[in-house]
Amino acid sequence: MKRPSLGAILLGLIPFAATCFSVPLWDRVYPMVLGIPFNFFWLIAWLLLGPLCMWGAYRLEEPRAGRRPQRRRS
Amino acid sequence: MSPSVVALAIISAIVAVGSLVGFFARFHHQMDLEQWTVGGRGFGLVLVWLLTAGEIYTTFTFLGASGWAYSRGAPVLYILGYMPLMYVVSFYILPPIWEAGRRHRLQTQADFFQVRYGSTLLAALVALVGVVCLIPYLQIQITGLGIIVEIASYGAIHRTLAMFIAFAIVAAFVFVSGVRGVAWASIVKDALLLFAAVFVGFAVPHLYFGGIGPMFAALARERPAHLVMPGATKDLGHAWYISSVMLTSLGCYMWPQFFAAGYTAKSGRILRRNAVLMPLYGLTMPLMFIVGYCAVLVLPGLSNGDLSLLTLVRKSFPAWFLGMVGGAGALTAMVAAAIQLLTGAMLYAKNLFRPIFAPRMTEPQVETLARIMVLVLTLGAVLSSVYSSLSLVSLLLVGYAGVAQLFPGVVLGLFSRRVTTAGVFAGLAAGLALAAFLMLRGQDPYRGLNAGFIALCLNIAVTGVVSLLTPVRAAGFDEAAPSLAASQSSNGASVT
C-alpha cells in the first residue's frame, strides 16, 4: 500500500505531542479556565484543535489518493 | 404507579423502539453473509459514522467514564486523551485497510492476515485473540445493562437476574437486525444519549453547586488531589497515562469490530473524512466526567463507582427521567454488544472453526454456526459478568492489552515489504504471553507503565528482529493477488 506523505504524518504527530507525551507539562488544576481545571480544559481544547490538524492532513492526502482509481481496476 | 414501574416502563419502551428500527432497516436487503456482516460495502459517511460511533460511545463511556472520574479521579482523563488520537491513527491505516478489503473481498480482520501473510494458522490465532478479547468488552455491555435495570428498579430486580434479561434482549436484537439494522438503531440511541449527556452534564452541577465552575472550585478546595494524576490511586501517574494512551490509541482499530467497520465504507475518502470529524462527537464525553466529579462530593462512599451516574440521576430527577437516561444507556449497550457479537461470531465460524476443523463447510453453514456462536458468546459474557468484580474501565484495558498486539502485523503488513509471516507470528506470541503473564500476576501497571504497552513494545521488537532473520515470502497487497476464496481453497498457500 502507498504510504502517507511525510507532511500528513507530521500533522498527525502534533495532537500526539500535545495530549500524550507532554502530560507532565499540563497536568495541573490551576490556572482554571472557564471554571474548569487546566488539565481537563487542555484536553477538551484539543478535541477541537486535533481535527484542525487532521483537516490539514486530509487536504494533503486527498489529492494523492484521488490519482489512483485507474490503476485499481486491473 | 411506583417510581420503579415508571422508570422500567420507559426503558422497555425505548428498547422496543430501538429494536424495531433495527428490525425494519434490514427489510429492503437480501440477508446473505456479506449483507449481515459488512452491509454489502455500501455505507456512506452517515452510516459509517453511526456504526463507529455506535461502537465507540458505549456503556463504557456512559457509566464507566463517570465511574472512574468518581473512584479514581484524574487518571480518567486518559480516555479524553486517547479518544481523538485513535482517530488520528485511523486516518492513516483505515483507508488502506478498506482498499485491501475491497480488492480481496475481505469480511473479517482475520481475513486480512490470511491474505497478507498467507497463513491459515496465523489467521486462526488472530481470530482467537479477537474472540477472547471481545468477551471482556461484551461483559462491559452486559454489566452496564444489569446496573441500569438494578438501579431503575430501585433494587427490586437483582443484578444477576437483570443480566440474564439483558442477555435475552441482546441476542434477540442481533438475530433480527444484522449490521445494517444495528447502524440504524444507533440513530435512536445517539439522539437519546446526546440529549441525556448534555442535560445531565449541565443540570447536575447546576442543581447542587450552581454551575460547573463552582463545582470544580468546591472539589479543588476539598479534594485537590483528586483532580490531578494519580488522583485517588497510587500507581496511575504520568508514565501510566502516556503508556495507556499509546496502547489504546494504537490498539483501538485493532478491535475486530472497528477493523471490520472499515470494510463497510463506500470509499477510503469517507473513512478519512470520518477520522477528521469524529473527535467533535466526543465533545459530550467531558460531561460524563463532570457528573462523576460531582458525585464525589454529593454521594461519597458508593461501593462501586460505576453506579455513580445513575444513582445521582435517580437522586436528582423524577422517575420518568431516570427511565429516559436508563433507556438511552440500555440501547447503547445493546447496539455495542450486537456489533461485538456479530464480529466475534463471524470470526469464530469463518476463520477459526472452518479452516481448522471443517474445511468443507458451505457459506450457509458458516452463517448458522455464526448464529449459534452469538448465543455462546453472550452466555459466556453473562457468566463472566456474574463472577467478575472488575470496574468497567479495567475490563476494557484488559481487552486492549490483547487486541493491541495485532498492531504490528496490521501496520507492517500494510506499509512494509520486509515483514514476514514468522516475524508477525513470533511478535504476536511474545506480546500476548507477556501481557497475559503480567496481568495474571496482578502486575498491571508494572513499574508505573501499562502492562499491555510493555507487551506491545516487546512484540514490535520481536516482530522486527525475526522478520529481518527470515526470508520474505508474501509480497503484500500491492501485487495482483488471488481473491480470498482462491487462497483459502488452496489452504492458504503463499500469496504472491
**Do B91 and A5 form a contact (C-beta atoms < 8 A)?**
no
Nearest CA in chain B to A56: B276
Q: Is residue A1 part of a domain?
A: no
pLDDT digits (tens, 9 = 90+) for A7-38: 889 999 999 999 999 988 999 898 989 999 99
Note whether B403 and B130 are within 8 A (CB). Answer: yes
The alpha carbon torsion through A43, A44, A47, A49 (nearest 10 deg) reads: -80
**Class of the CATH domain delimited by B3-391:** mainly alpha
Question: Is residue B266 a contact partner of residue A17, using CB atoms and an 8 Å limit?
Answer: no
Give the start-to-end residue ranges of the domains of chain B: 3-391
Nearest by CB: B269 against A46, A47, A65: A65
Q: What is the pLDDT of residue A41?
A: 94
Q: Quick one: which of B404, B433, B62, B430 has its CA closest to B258? A: B404
Judging contacts by C-beta atoms under 8 Å, the chain B residues touching residue A9 are: 92
Is any Cβ of chain A less than 8 angstroms from the Cβ of B158? no
User: What residues pair up with A33 in beta bridges, in sequence order?
Assistant: A36
Q: Are B217 and A33 in contact (CB under 8 A)?
A: no
Q: Is residue A2 part of a domain?
A: no
In the numeric block, the cell 487486541 is attached to B403
Where on the phi/psi map is residue B139: left (φ > 0), alpha (ψ -120 to 50), or beta? Answer: alpha
Per-10-residue mean pLDDT for chain B, 496 residues long?
84 84 65 56 62 66 87 91 92 91 87 89 92 87 86 84 81 73 76 86 92 92 89 86 93 88 81 87 86 92 87 91 89 83 84 84 82 85 80 81 93 89 93 89 83 93 92 64 46 36
Interchain contact, A1 vs B87, CB within 8 Å: no
Does residue A72 carry a pLDDT above 50? no
Report d(CA B275, CA B98) in Å as an integer: 14
Grid cell at residue B127: 481470530
d(CA A25, CA A14): 15
The residues, ordered by sequence, that sit 6+ positions from B6 with a Cβ below 8 Å of its Cβ are: B319, B320, B323
Q: Do A50 and B74 touch (CB under 8 A)?
A: no
Which set of grid coordinates corresponds to residue B298? 454529593
Q: Residue B109 forms beta bridges with which residues?
A: none
Q: What pLDDT sits at residue B213?
A: 92
Q: Does A50 touch chain B (CB under 8 A)?
A: yes
The reported pLDDT for the residue numbered B163 is: 82
If DSSP codes are grouped into helix, strand and coil, which group holds residue B32? coil
SS3 B305: helix
Residue A29 inside a domain? The answer is yes
**3-class DSSP assignment, residue B264:** coil
- Domain containing A47 equals 8-62
Q: Whole-angstrom Cα distance, residue B30 to residue B51? A: 20
Cell reading at B84: 481523538
* A15 contacts in chain B (CB < 8 Å): 84-85, 88
Grid cell, residue B353, equals: 472453526
Cell of A67: 490519482
Q: Give yes or no for B227 touching A (CB within 8 A).
A: yes
Among the partner residues A1, A2, A37, nearest to B220 by beta-carbon distance: A37
The rounded distance, in Å, linking the Cα atoms of B408 and B413 is 8
What separation in angstroms does the CA of B88 have from each of B206, B272, B286? Answer: 34, 9, 19
Q: Between chains, do B229 and A27 touch, taking CB under 8 Å as contact?
A: yes
Residue whose cell numbers read 446526546: B194
- H/E run at residue B65: none
CB contact under 8 A, A51 and B84: yes
Q: For residue A24, is it within any domain? A: yes
Residue of B nearest to A50 (CA): B84
Which amino acid belongs to residue A37? P
Tell me how far apart the alpha carbons of residues B342 and B37 are, in angstroms, rounded to a whole number.
7
Q: Please give the residue of chain A at the shortest CA–CA distance from B102.
A: A72
Looking at the 3D structure of chain A, how many domains does it have? 1
Q: Which long-range contacts (CB under 8 A, 24 or more apart) does A20-26 make?
A: A20/B81, A20/B85, A20/B241, A20/B242, A20/B245, A20/B246, A20/B249, A21/B242, A23/B81, A23/B229, A23/B238, A23/B241, A23/B242, A24/B238
As for the ipTM of the complex, it is: 0.89
